[in-house]
Amino acid sequence: MAITLRLTKGSELTYAELDGNFTDLNTRVGTLETASAGTVRVNKYYFEADSGDIVFSGNDYFGNAMTYDSNSALVYLNGMMLMQGVDYTLTGGNAVTTTVGIDSGHLITITSMELV
């Protein structure tokens, strides 16, 4: 079944059309899960800056050794996502270098996804 759009139809959708849209989306999502043949795990690493740190690597605040896939890594400063190539660079799958020093007490979070 194709998804019915209100804009295309020109009027409000019926309950049957809404149900049909959700059924179609469930089918599509189920197909994607089957096609991936696995589960995605999100790894998170937490570092607290100390006096202008620019390199974050090694074990994080909780003792987890940071490794990441550079194709899926995202870096955050106090919860705000930074821009790769402008705010930071990734090195070797285990280090993040910020373009400016980060003051003491600020939180750097690195996330990365992997298929397991």
Convert the pLDDT of each residue in 47-102 to its tens digit.
999 999 999 999 999 999 999 998 889 999 999 999 999 999 999 999 999 999 99
**Quick one: which of 53, 50, 42 has its CA closest to 110?**
42
Q: From residue 40, how far is each of 2, 31, 36, 55, 75 by CA, in Å?
A: 28, 15, 9, 27, 18
| Element at 102 (helix H, strand E) | strand 95-102
The amino acid at 10:
G
pLDDT at 74: 94
Instruction: Give the C-alpha separation, 99 to 85, whole Å.
Output: 9
